Structure 1
Amino acid sequence: MLENILIVGAGPVGLTLACELARYGIGVRLIDRSPEPTRTSKALVVWSRTLELMDRMGCSAPFLAAGLQARGATLRSGGQVLGSARFTEIASPYPFALMIPQAETERLLTEHLAGFGVAIEREVALTDFSQTSDAVTARLLHADGREEDVATSFLIGCDGAHSRVRHGLALPFEGQAQGDEWWLADVRVAGTGAPPPDEIAVYLHRDGPLVLFPIPGGRARIVATVGAIDPDRPRPDPTLAAMQALVEARAGGGMFLSDPVWLSPFRINERKVSQYRTDRVFLAGDAAHIHSPAGGQGMNTGMQDAVNLAWKLALVLRGEAAPDLLDSYGPERNAVGAMVLRNASRLTAAATLAHPAAQAARNLALRALLGVHAVRDRMAATMSEIEIGYPDSVLSEGPGAGLRWPPEHDAGPPPGAGGAPRFVLYAEDGPESAALGARFPTLLAPEARPSPDGLLHLVRPDGYVGLSAPAGDGEKAGRYLARLVPA
């Protein structure tokens, strides 16, 4: 393997990045200060786009086997159904929300990483770092008190909302905390009032929303607001009896909670850095952006940060792409992070409206909007993240460039399977395609694939369109690839 990259934080984001780099033949050290992985459910949803990217990673099958497929979400108020969003309409091989506890996500990614011969180094903390134009020097503290200085090509902070890497860069984490206190409970739910086991159930109530997420094994996550935070009158922590009372008040009778494995208060923070990179140090996941859990986008967005960054780091470290390829990571993912933050904030604000007139207007609007097929489809597509793209990226050229390449147009193993990341040329087979492959053997997959629409497309290693051009315009494709080649 090539020289090591140091990744700080072995949650889903750090694990995804380590898996992808190892798949591309890059040496990785993955450290985490915690002595063990998370034991709680935390982030629950793996969305369609993340599952598509897991296909490219080669690890979707065990996730599908372990998870529960939620087919839709239903909004209710006062015992009446306001409307539903059906995930079955998502234009993806995975038209559902895969419900899987974060503890399982981490376990499966850890097993996938072990297949590349890489293990997490636990009880190892980053205490300091500095960088030059050539390397980053990081100081690590081990559990036995031993200190270690490590030189690495790049340092990646995947170390969460309280990121030591972000603090070391002195980057502002701009935003605010939402004013309400929330409770969560992971419990068993039974009774005639329980929603279907493959449905996310949202109950809008005058005192605040209550949401029920199904979890594999007959369990559910319940979250609810319990009012504004008052530092002078702190609330007691939630109990099973208190959660049962909340459910009865907001969702109606006939639903019985038991066997709690996690009861906790929490507060929603909405914050983001303005830059994801400082020279040889990068941020990904919660280290760069945190937001409301509405929509379940947080972990998915972070894992997609990792996929975006991994192929770029790999091509640069392998000497197959110019270092300025890395300049595209921050702008691409910063725009996505801002969009996700904005959408989650709007959903939370709408759900937590306090004035009765505003609540009534919201409910009327939801009933009308969710009665429109196109609106329901758009909502599901947004939640699934299949609409995320990079149309404004410096790597996007031509009509439709920057958009997700539909998985049904893929043929054969994804680029990077068993080796380095590669662009894929979709074009008519012929001497021009062969000439491009011969000219750029370290950037292009060995064989062109049939174009589904007669145009020429260069698809990036992460499954987004880099270039769209007229059929036979190998010259434009050549210019596109030539600007990625090291000088």
Structure 2
Amino acid sequence: MSDAQSGDTLPVLIVGGGPVGMTLASELARYGIDVRIVDKAAHRADTSRALVLWSRTLELLDRGFGAAPFVEVGLQTKHVSILNGDTRIGRIDMSGVASPYPYALMIPQSETERLLEAQLEKQGIVVERRVEVTAIQEVDGGVRAVLRAEDGSEETVQAKWLVGCDGAHSVVRHSLGVSFAGETLPSDWVLGDVHVSGYPYGTDVSVYWHREGVLVIFPISEGRYRVLADVASSAAEQPPAPTVDQLQALLDQRGSQGMTIGDPVWLAGFRINDRKVAEYRHGRVFLAGDAAHIHSPAGGQGMNTGMQDAFNLAWKLALVIEGTGSEDLLDSYSPERSYVGEEVLKGAGRLTKVATLRNPVAQHIRNFAAHAVLGLPSVQHAASEMVTEIAIHYPDSPLNGPALNGGPRPGARVAPVAGQLPAGSGATPLFALHADNTPEIASLVAAFEKLVSPDIRPRLAEDGIWLVRPDGYVACAAEDTGPIAAYLKRIAR
């Protein structure tokens, strides 16, 4: 048993060993922060569940051990086709987004979790499975948690910070008494990870808008696909899983002709919940991922949003724990990620409502309008940036400092540059300066050596200095070093 387990205060206890918890643990470990991560499940996910890693998540992974292991085993999808039977209404093209990863990476959650767990093991961290949290209490300077093992034995752990990444039925959230406001949508949905022959659209994701409902087909690997459709509501507490014959009937009715299902891998029924907490931080306890927000699977944003919660929180926690950054940094986590969660919730809800319209007149108007607007380059650009998540930004963050008229605004994402390490790479979460390498800049770096990287990067516009956060978003911009220094003093401890 480690010292932290036997009585010393642990820096961070993570509850939940899914993709969000493991991402957070890996990021904190990279920054030299001791963590424990526990999960009541016996094993990591063995089904596909969440199925895609978007461009922005892959970019953020590159700050640590890299996106390459995921890309090697995933399937690159560059288009989403919207169809009515065999007629294409429109097509979203992701191949032109300004990212090293201009595509959706189709990869089963089981594979994502396997790769994350393998990385944690390299970092000397083991996900403690069959361990559940039974009580949480905030105490002076930390959080006390009771952990119960499978054999019934209990252990009391004291941590400076606790993060609940324990899913939609979060024990951490329940322990805090936090409301999970929202609704359960009335329709039932069916899902099948199956093998399909005769699929006519290669690696495209296909969204079929049929008069009886929506049908979505996601490629997973050679010959294997996920089929998703809304169906009539049932009285059952838990919607039943479909049979292969039922899925085949949905394909025959709503999809392109000539597709045949066989060899099912996973079949499930579910209902859509749209729910979100109001605040992601409660004293020394944080909520992330499905513990904080759940929504329609339309757009495939859920797991990615949760992993990006973890990326956002990790560098702030690391700076505070190391004594480099002010605790005020942590106050920005909730407003930043709650804003993103709200936007994802609204966007997924809109997509679901549009796809499941039942009124024939409304369906006709929808199809006509979608065909027209998806032909516009500006709409294509906006749609591809939204779906790949590179459009995510923090326009109203409390961390945003002064701005310049030219160049990216505070809160905006800074696109990765080929051959240049992303901001926040390495063993310390450092801010990056984009400026001319002058004596004034050298003095600024020397004055804030624990916060700012000595690697000066090219300006982001013709004139000015930009300070970029460790997660690759603009912190502030100014014409000279004075406002930049003032900003760094504000967030330094």
Pick the TM interval, shorter chain: over 0.9
**What CA distance in whole angstroms lies between the structure 1 residues aligned with 2:315 and 2:303?**
19
What is the deviation of 1:236?
4.9
Q: Alpha carbon RMSD of aligned pairs, Å?
A: 1.5
SS in 2 for 1:401: coil
- Counterparts of 1:44-443 in structure 2, within 5 Å, are 44-191=51-198, 194-231=199-236, 236-397=240-401, 398-399=403-404, 400-408=409-417, 411-412=420-421, 414-417=423-426, 419-443=427-451
**Would the aligned equivalents of 2:93 and 2:384 in 1 still touch at CA under 8 Å?**
yes
Q: Which moved more, 1:220-229 or 1:28-37?
A: 220-229
**Would the aligned equivalents of 1:437 and 1:447 in 2 still touch at CA under 8 Å?**
no
Letter paired with 1:259: D
SS in 2 for 1:152: strand
- Name 1:445's counterpart in structure 2: 453
**What CA distance in whole angstroms lies between the structure 1 residues aligned with 2:240 and 2:324?**
57
SS in 2 for 1:42: coil
SS in 2 for 1:26: coil
Per-residue deviation, residues 114-147 of structure 1 (Å, max 9, x unmatched): 1211110000000001002401000000011110
**What CA distance in whole angstroms lies between the structure 2 residues aligned with 1:368 and 1:133?**
60
SS in 2 for 1:461: coil
**Would the aligned equivalents of 1:3 and 1:26 in 2 still touch at CA under 8 Å?**
no
**Would the aligned equivalents of 2:239 and 2:271 in 1 still touch at CA under 8 Å?**
no
**What CA distance in whole angstroms lies between the structure 1 residues aligned with 2:57 and 2:17?**
18
Letter paired with 1:440: F
Aligned residues: 480
**Would the aligned equivalents of 1:401 and 1:467 in 2 still touch at CA under 8 Å?**
yes
**What CA distance in whole angstroms lies between the structure 2 residues aligned with 1:433 and 1:84?**
47
Per-residue deviation, residues 163-187 of structure 1 (Å, max 9, x unmatched): 0000011110000011110000001
What is the deviation of 1:218?
2.7
**Would the aligned equivalents of 1:409 and 1:452 in 2 still touch at CA under 8 Å?**
no
2:474 to 446, 458, 465: 465
Query: Identical aligned pairs, as a percentage?
Result: 50
Structure 1 residue runs of 5 or longer lacking an equivalent are none
**TM-score for the superposition, normalised by structure 2:** 0.95
Per-residue deviation, residues 398-444 of structure 1 (Å, max 9, x unmatched): 14111001112772464341x22100111111111111111111101
Structure 2 residue runs of 5 or longer lacking an equivalent are none
What is the deviation of 1:380?
1.0
**Would the aligned equivalents of 1:402 and 1:466 in 2 still touch at CA under 8 Å?**
yes
**TM-score for the superposition, normalised by structure 1:** 0.96
SS in 2 for 1:342: helix
What is the deviation of 1:338?
0.3
4+ runs of 1 displaced by more than 6 Å?
none
